[in-house]
Amino acid sequence: MSAALPSLAETIQKHGLAARKALGQHFLLDATLCGRIASIAAPLEGRQVLEIGPGPGGLTRALLASPAEHVTAVELDRRALGALEELSAAYPGKLTIVEGDALRIDAETLLPAPRRIVANLPYNVGTPLLIGWLHQAALFESMTLMFQQEVAERIVAAPDTEHYGRLAVLSQWRCQCRMMLRLPPGAFSPPPKVWSAVVHLVPHAEDPDPALMKSLEKVTAAAFGQRRKMLRSSLKTLGNAEAILKDADIDGTRRAETLSVAEFERLAVNELKKAGGPAP
């Protein structure tokens, strides 16, 4: 680092970064906390880090101070660019700033492997961002992501528990998912209404046939769309529910929340076969 950086509070003041609700802006100003989040993503030696929504750059500072090879930070709010340029100058060649919408980036072309995502996500787009990454999870060695705690619980939930649903099945089918850290509203400026939590996801090697992922999305949408109903009834929208369940060796009187991820995978494989897709 070439020169001492101003405090984050000074940075926010200097660049007029009053938080905007529409952009899900809740900033982390505590350097120790930012360092803890960066360390969850370790080891970062030789890694390319993708950060979404750096804002004034608290977490970015921790990532730049880490042994990561390079950080690419995608930010939608133009007002933050000046603050990020100052960080870039303090760590010459280590930070690439991309102005734009994280929902529209192509991570594969944006940064080379080995890639790790580390982000305090804007809550309004956290789930769609995760679902998009799950479709190409093998691009990443890991994803260390802060969500609203309720979303984080839905990612790591086990069958037969309150939060188990579509997001748990899709996430756990593609990744090993662990709850790492819970943070109270007061950790952020301005404080959100709810607690937040960091989940660490490690994708399984190789992405499956995209058609199988689509099938799993379809099956879980049908099953959890009517989660109180028996599967033989909730899966009717797929056509052929009885046959799909029978081939997957799953009792049609069970309800969605009792099925393991492996059982959902069997349903997706059979649904794909019935739909005439390639056998995975």
Neighbours of 92 (CB within 10 A): 9
Q: How many positions of this chain bind ligand SAM (CB under 6 A)?
A: 23
- Give the dihedral sign, CA 172/132/27/24: negative
| Cβ-proximal residue to ligand SAM, closest one | 53
Q: Is position 173 an interface residue for ligand SAM (rule: CB under 6 A)? A: no
The stretch near ligand SAM (CB under 6 A) out of 18-26, 64-72, 133-141, 233-241 is 18-26
The stretch near ligand SAM (CB under 6 A) out of 38-46, 53-61, 83-91, 269-277 is 53-61
Per-position x/- string for 104-133, each x denoting binding to ligand SAM as judged by CB under 6 A, each - no binding:
----------------x-x--x--------
**CA 259 – CA 237 distance, rounded (Å):** 18
The stretch near ligand SAM (CB under 6 A) out of 70-78, 84-92, 215-223, 244-252 is 70-78
> How do beta strands 48-52 and 115-120 pair?
parallel
200 is in an annotated binding site: no
Residues near 63 by beta carbon (within 8 Å), at least 6 away in sequence: 38, 44, 49, 51, 71, 118
The only residue of 5, 12, 15, 24 in contact with ligand SAM, by rule CB under 6 A: 24
Q: Is position 74 an interface residue for ligand SAM (rule: CB under 6 A)? A: yes
Q: Is position 55 an interface residue for ligand SAM (rule: CB under 6 A)? A: yes
Q: Is position 52 an interface residue for ligand SAM (rule: CB under 6 A)? A: yes
Q: Is position 76 an interface residue for ligand SAM (rule: CB under 6 A)? A: yes
The stretch near ligand SAM (CB under 6 A) out of 51-59, 149-157, 163-171, 225-233 is 51-59
Q: How far is CA 36 from CA 58, 97, 144, 166, in A?
A: 12, 23, 11, 29
Q: In the numeric block, which tokens belong to residue 213?
A: 């992922």
129 is in an annotated binding site: no
The stretch near ligand SAM (CB under 6 A) out of 71-79, 84-92, 204-212, 223-231 is 71-79
To ligand SAM, the closest distance from the beta carbon of 170 in angstroms equals 20
To ligand SAM, the closest distance from the beta carbon of 74 in angstroms equals 5
Binding site for S-adenosyl-L-methionine, residues?
Answer: 26, 28, 53, 75, 101, 120
Q: Which residues bind ligand SAM (CB under 6 A)?
A: 23-28, 52-55, 58-59, 74-77, 80, 101-103, 120, 122, 125
